Amino acid sequence: MDTYPISSNSLEIYYGINGTQLAQQYKEHLSDFNQWEQKEHSTDWLLFPENMGEQLSIDETALSNGDLYTILTNKSAKGKKGALVAMIEGTESEKIINVLKEIEKSVIESVTEVTLDMAGSMNKIVRKCFTKASRVTDRFHVQKLAYDAIQEIRIAYRWDAINTENELMIEAKGLKKKYKAKLFDNGDTEKQKTRAKILFKKFPDLEKAYNLTHKLRLIYSKTEDKDIARAKLAVWYNDVEESGFKSFNTIAATIYTHYPSILFFFDNRSTNASAESFNAKLKAFRRTQRGVSDMKFFLFRIAKIFA
């Protein structure tokens, strides 16, 4: 229980024990929870400077009941022992900056790169604390904006198709005629069409939006050199502006605002995937602890396993 995220109740079936009683015994006697030096402030913050590495990830996660925590992890630990550098309640930048200031300056300055999402608070935290580190905007957050934009266009066309079909059905009913839905080449109705070729023939703008999204993905997946990436992103940015798609305006503004940190991705191709994976592990572990109301004890176990 010191090294693996498992609940005591899950051991009942294998060892014929009382899981609730084991948890209580572990908490009070078998573990060093009562002597844990970070116990008093654990629900507010946890710090493990010894786990600091050159490449970090910062992200936020909700463990339960909407309790948000900002989590700093060491990429080299790959989500295992030694991964957890800091875990701080909330996402308010000033609070997190003040906690991280407790770490020695020489340790902080050893960090060369931090990956993060596009939240302003995260950017401020990294900028203020890790002054010698590159801030790398996670590529998947940028790409998700493009996927959301094309989804917005697709849904708009879908509703148009549904409304048009409803109007034709009402018109046919008024004329006492049987409505017959228009079929495409693959036999689908206008609401059900699935093949890209048919979609793009009917909705050319959708094909243009898809191509913009695909080009962005290729820039990230196929480009190794930062200078080439800079040129390609500039061209892509111009294509977005020329497209006239309102749904892509957010992407254009985001790329303009985060241009340097987006380009830093092409130095080491670092992403926030490790942070997302770590957060998923924490949430899964939290689900096994349903009914455990002592948050300090839960955080103690996290520290035992990941710090």
Rounded Cα gap, residues 138 and 57, in angstroms: 10
Residues ≥6 apart with Cβ < 8 Å to 153: 205, 206, 209, 245, 247
Q: Which of 120-124, 148-152, 192-196, 208-212 has the highest mean pLDDT?
A: 120-124
**pLDDT tens-digit profile of 2-31?**
566 666 666 666 666 766 776 777 777 677
CA angle 216, 56, 99 (to 5 degrees): 125
Instruction: Annotate 169-234 with DSSP letters as a single string.
Output: HHHHHHTT------B-TTS-BTTT---HHHHHHH-HHHHHHHHHHHHHHHHHHH---HHHHHHHHH
pLDDT band at 287 (very low <50, low <70, confident <90, very high): confident
Length of the chain: 307
**pLDDT tens-digit profile of 82-141?**
999 999 999 999 999 999 999 999 999 999 999 999 889 999 999 999 999 999 999 998
**pLDDT tens-digit profile of 213-222?**
999 999 999 9
* Contacts of the segment 170-178: beta carbons below 8 A, 24+ positions apart: none
pLDDT band at 193 (very low <50, low <70, confident <90, very high): very low
Structure tokens at 259: 């241009």
- In the chain, the N- to C-terminal Cα span, in Å, equals 14
Strand ordering across the sheet containing 55-62? 45-47, 84-89, 68-74, 55-62, 113-116, 134-137
Tell me the pTM: 0.78
Nearest-CA neighbor of 86 among 231, 275, 214, 277? 275
Rounded Cα gap, residues 193 and 206, in angstroms: 13
Q: Name the fold adopted by 42-138+271-306.
A: Nucleotidyltransferase; domain 5 (3.30.420)
Domain ranges of the chain: 42-138+271-306, 139-162+193-268
CA angle 36, 38, 44 (to 5 degrees): 140
Rounded Cα gap, residues 157 and 90, in angstroms: 40
pLDDT at position 202 over 80: no
Tell which phi-psi region holds residue 90, choosing left (phi > 0), alpha (psi between -120 and 50) or beta: left
The β-bridge partners of 183 are: 189
